[in-house]
């Protein structure tokens, strides 16, 4: 396939959006051109900036939590403040970072490009969703100032109804953020249905797009229930309507049902995009078509749907009826299957592939390893009888950090490193990226493996103080958090450094067959210079022409011939970038 040169239907010359053929970063200038942009790429970058800040805030709270737990009793703060730290860590990480992260930052940027569209279906709603996110962020920061919440990010009643802390502003912030999520999901759903370029059938659609689509399904169907949950919490707090209060005929477990009906699918909003990125990374760095492409696509949709059926596994010891617990436990086993399909297919893809150990691939490998641990421990927790012992211990904490951080964050970092050249036109330093990866990997496991162990030995979660036998584990975990933080800071530094010191990236530095690599690096404003027609799939290395797969490093090197350059870096990439035919 060479992109057939069809003039853009309804194409314009330069209009108020800028020259459609210019580099999107340079098409318009000035801060207003960013704050009022409707270009999905710029919106994606703005989201990326904000979620990174949110990650920093949430990460600082995590470091504070771990620091407090370094020794028994009081280390730096009292119990009440500690409760606020872990609540804020959870709320900021879940609602401000991880749920928007991949869809709003990378999804916004790449979904239209990967289906050959000029933008998402509703660009102005896209911008609106960003401003709603900012508003939600502001309200949550307000709640911090007003004294913060200590209920845990799950806001369980009756405590959240009775506590004097700033529950109202925190839940209002979350309520607002929910709408940002809904609008993003709505946009993606309609875009995928109505704006695919000629030749992109559902079967050929890149797996990243399938992942965004499945995520959008969940966002649209689950988040409204969060909205009504928070509204009922507000009514309970302010009017005392009694729906969660046993003295007035209500039931606090009802709150948990309402809350987890959203929050369980929410964890699939978190992981499915990470898996979607992983599919892209594994295909590119194995230089092979993904094994079972349509099966992986369907498994994303299956996760989306099955994820709605299992929320009760968060309520196993809350006092649910036995019948309900049995149903939910059985359904929880079902939901592990699609994840298994993906892991097997990725492994099969790598078999006899031509593996390139670039930094994104290291993250992809780490994802498989860490997500498998997280997923398997999820099955332990889904087993009703075992859960009675493990629930509300550090085992649960370790489990969800393995899937959320070892899964989504790892994939997010891998995706950032993979697509950084495409988004910015600059190449980052691979050496630093790899060192940072190992720090992250070692640090992460040092934090959380001790937590599995102490959780299974009875250390409860959200506890300020603990018994002496857990102290070595807590100390190890805290030291791990410092290693992890160092790795993350180094990754951030590597990416930012590329912006002013990085080499100019060629069109396709990784030699990928993916659709997004067929256009300029960075993309032009309209994404493609002509409406593309795709006659092969995005992973069809056997069908792609050498010109499509060429990395373009030769041209870049020729341009800076004789100048300083990381020669070893260039040679390595060039050698690995060549196809084995």
Partner 1 sequence: MANVSESAHGEVAHDGHDVHAHAHPDFLQHHFDTPAQQFDASKLGMWVFIATEILMFGGLFCAYAIWRGLEPEIFDQAHHFLNKILGATNTVVLLFSSLTAALAVRSAQVGKRNATSAYLIITILCAFVFLIVKYFEYSHKFHLGLLPGHCFGHPGMSAAIQNGEEVGTCLRMQGDASPVMPEWVKAVDESGHVQLLSPRANMFFGLYFVMTGLHLIHVLVGMSVLTWVLIKNLRGTFSPQYFTPVDLGALYWHLVDLVWIYLFPLLYLVGKPE
Partner 2 sequence: MATEHAHAAPEDDGNVHVHVASTQFYVGIFAALILLTLLTVRVSYYDFGSANIIIALVVATMKASLVAAFFMHLRYDKLFNTLAFLSAFLFLAIFILLTYDDLGVRGRRSPSYITTVDPRTGEPAPGGEPATSATSNELPGEAPKEGRGSAEKK
**Which residue number, 170 or 220, has a Cβ lying nearer to partner 2?**
220
CA-wise closest residue to 476 among 500, 499, 454: 454
Q: Find which of partner 1, partner 2, none residue 333 binds, CB within 5 to 8 Å per kind.
A: none
For 468, which DSSP code? G
- Scanning the structure block, which residue is given the tokens 């870096």? 569
Chain residues binding partner 2 by CB under 8 A are 193, 221, 225, 246-249, 251, 253-254, 257, 261, 308-309, 311-312, 315, 320-324, 327-328
Q: Tell whether the torsion through CA atoms of 14, 18, 21 and 27 is positive or negative.
A: positive
CB of 316 to partner 2, least distance (A): 11
State the Cα–Cα distance between residues 580 and 460, nearest whole angstrom.
52
User: Could you write out the DSSP letters of every residue in 29-87?
Assistant: -SHHHHHT---HHHHHHHHHHHHHHHHHHHHHHHHHHHHHTTSSS-SSS-HHHHHHHHH
Q: Which of 5, 36, 74, 162 touches partner 1 by CB under 8 A? A: 162
Q: Is 323 in the site for partner 1 (CB under 8 A)?
A: no
Q: Is 235 in the site for partner 1 (CB under 8 A)?
A: yes
CB 218 within 8 A of CB 304: yes
Q: Is 428 in the site for partner 1 (CB under 8 A)?
A: no
Q: Which of 239, 323, 351, 500 touches partner 1 by CB under 8 A? A: 239
Q: Which of 123, 273, 307, 406 touches partner 1 by CB under 8 A? A: 123
**Which residue number, 245 or 566, has a Cβ lying nearer to partner 2?**
245
How far is C-alpha 254 from the geometric centre of its chain's CA atoms? 29
Interface map 168-207 toward partner 1 (x if CB under 8 A): x-------------x---xx-xxx-xxx------------
**Which residue number, 258 or 363, has a Cβ lying nearer to partner 1?**
258
For 469, which DSSP code? G
Q: Which span (156-164, 411-419, 441-449, 503-511) binds partner 1, by CB under 8 A?
A: 156-164
Here the tokens at position 306 are: 């099955």
Three-class SS of residue 578? coil
Of residues 253-282, those binding partner 1 (CB under 8 A): 254, 258
State the Cα–Cα distance between residues 124 and 140, nearest whole angstrom.
24
Q: How far apart, in Å, do the first and last CA atoms of the chain sit?
A: 18
Three-class SS of residue 199? coil
Q: Find which of partner 1, partner 2, none residue 556 binds, CB within 5 to 8 Å per kind.
A: none
Here the tokens at position 428 are: 């980052």
CB of 224 to partner 1, least distance (A): 4
Q: Can you name the residues that pair with 367 across neighbouring β-strands?
A: none
Q: Find which of partner 1, partner 2, none residue 483 binds, CB within 5 to 8 Å per kind.
A: none
Q: Find which of partner 2, partner 1, none residue 246 binds, CB within 5 to 8 Å per kind.
A: partner 2
Q: Is 117 in the site for partner 1 (CB under 8 A)?
A: yes
CB 427 within 8 A of CB 505: yes
Q: Is 121 in the site for partner 1 (CB under 8 A)?
A: yes
Residues in contact with partner 1 by the rule CB under 8 A: 7, 9-13, 15-17, 117-123, 125, 158, 161-164, 167-168, 182, 186-187, 189-191, 193-195, 220-225, 227-229, 231-232, 235-243, 245, 247-250, 254, 258, 531
């Amino acid at each position: 396939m060479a992109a057939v040169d069809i003039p853009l239907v309804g194409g314009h010359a330069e209009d108020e959006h800028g020259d459609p053929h210019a580099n999107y970063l340079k098409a318009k200038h000035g801060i207003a051109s960013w704050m009022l942009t409707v270009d999905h790429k710029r919106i994606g970058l703005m989201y990326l900036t904000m979620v990174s800040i949110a990650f920093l805030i949430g990460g600082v709270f995590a470091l504070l939590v771990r620091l407090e737990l370094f020794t028994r009793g009081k280390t730096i703060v009292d119990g009440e403040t500690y409760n606020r730290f872990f609540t804020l860590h959870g709320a900021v990480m879940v609602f401000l970072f991880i749920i928007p992260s991949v869809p709003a930052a990378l999804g916004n940027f790449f979904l239209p490009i990967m289906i050959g569209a000029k933008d998402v279906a509703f660009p102005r709603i896209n911008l609106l969703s960003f401003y709603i996110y900012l508003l939600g962020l502001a309200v949550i920061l307000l709640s911090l100032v007003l004294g913060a919440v200590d209920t845990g990010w799950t806001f369980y009643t009756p405590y959240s109804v009775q506590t004097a802390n700033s529950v109202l502003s925190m839940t209002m912030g979350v309520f607002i953020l929910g709408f940002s999520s809904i609008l993003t999901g709505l946009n993606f759903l309609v875009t995928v249905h109505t704006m695919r370029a000629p030749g992109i059938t559902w079967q050929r659609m890149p797996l990243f797009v399938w992942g965004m689509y499945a995520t959008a399904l969940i966002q649209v169907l689950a988040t409204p229930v969060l909205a009504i949950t928070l509204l009922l919490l507000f009514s309970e707090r302010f009017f005392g309507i009694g729906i969660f209060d046993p003295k007035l005929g209500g039931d606090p477990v009802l709150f948990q049902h309402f809350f987890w009906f959203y929050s369980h699918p929410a964890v699939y909003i978190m992981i499915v995009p990470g898996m979607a990125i992983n599919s892209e990374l594994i295909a590119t760095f194995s230089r092979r078509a993904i094994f079972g492409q349509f099966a992986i696509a369907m498994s994303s949709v299956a996760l989306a749907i099955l994820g709605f059926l299992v929320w009760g596994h968060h309520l196993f010891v809350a006092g649910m009826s036995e019948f309900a617990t049995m149903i939910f436990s059985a359904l929880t086993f079902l939901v592990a299957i699609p994840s298994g399909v993906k892991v097997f297919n990725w492994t099969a893809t790598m078999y006899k592939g031509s593996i390139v150990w670039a930094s994104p691939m290291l993250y992809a490998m780490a994802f498989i390893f860490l997500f498998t641990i997280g997923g398997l421990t999820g099955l332990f927790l889904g087993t009703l009888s075992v859960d009675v012992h493990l629930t509300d211990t550090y085992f649960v904490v370790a489990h969800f950090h393995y899937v959320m951080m070892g899964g989504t964050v790892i994939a997010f970092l891998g995706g950032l490193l993979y697509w950084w050249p495409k988004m910015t036109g600059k190449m980052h330093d691979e050496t630093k990226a790899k060192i940072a990866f190992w720090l992250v990997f070692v640090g992460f496991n040092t934090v959380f493996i001790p937590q599995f162990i102490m959780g299974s030995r009875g250390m409860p979660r959200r506890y300020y103080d603990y018994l002496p036998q857990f102290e070595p584990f807590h100390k190890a975990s805290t030291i791990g958090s410092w290693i992890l933080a160092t790795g993350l800071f180094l990754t951030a530094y590597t990416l930012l450094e590329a912006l002013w010191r990085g080499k100019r990236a060629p069109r396709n530095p990784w030699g990928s067959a993916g659709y997004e690599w067929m256009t300029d690096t960075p993309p032009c404003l309209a994404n493609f210079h002509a409406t593309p027609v795709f006659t092969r799939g995005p992973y069809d290395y056997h069908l792609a022409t050498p010109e499509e797969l060429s990395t373009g490093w030769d041209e870049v090197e020729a341009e800076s011939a004789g100048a300083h350059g990381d020669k070893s870096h260039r040679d390595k990439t060039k050698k690995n970038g060549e196809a084995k035919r």
